[in-house]
Amino acid sequence: MQTMTKVKFPWKATASRENSQRLAAYLHTHVEKFQAKQQQQFEIQNSMTEMSLGNFRCLILIPKL
């Protein structure tokens, strides 16, 4: 599932070379922040899966002892 994010730019949009460079830099940092957040959420989900698997293994092993 893709999510759309609306981005408000902190300057007036005009068609100039300077503004297009500013826009590119702004979007680049915005995308990097978003990707870092996604990676962090993925790592949290991953560690939760590992923890739940760990608990599941414990539940299986305890009765056998």
Residue spans per domain, the chain: 19-65
Q: Which of the 8 DSSP states describes residue 11?
A: S
Per-residue pLDDT reduced to its tens digit, 16-64: 777 778 888 888 888 888 888 888 888 877 776 666 665 555 444 444 4
Other beta carbons within 10 angstroms of residue 30's beta carbon come to 13
**Model's pTM, two decimal places?**
0.41
Q: What b/e sequence results for 17-26 when a residue is b if at least 16 CB atoms lie within 10 Å of its CB, and e otherwise?
A: eeeeeeeeee
Q: What is the pLDDT of residue 9?
A: 63
With a cut of 70, say whether residue 2 has pLDDT above it: no
Rounded to 5°, the CA angle 29-39-20 comes to: 15
Is there a contact between 10 and 23 (Cβ–Cβ < 8 Å)? no
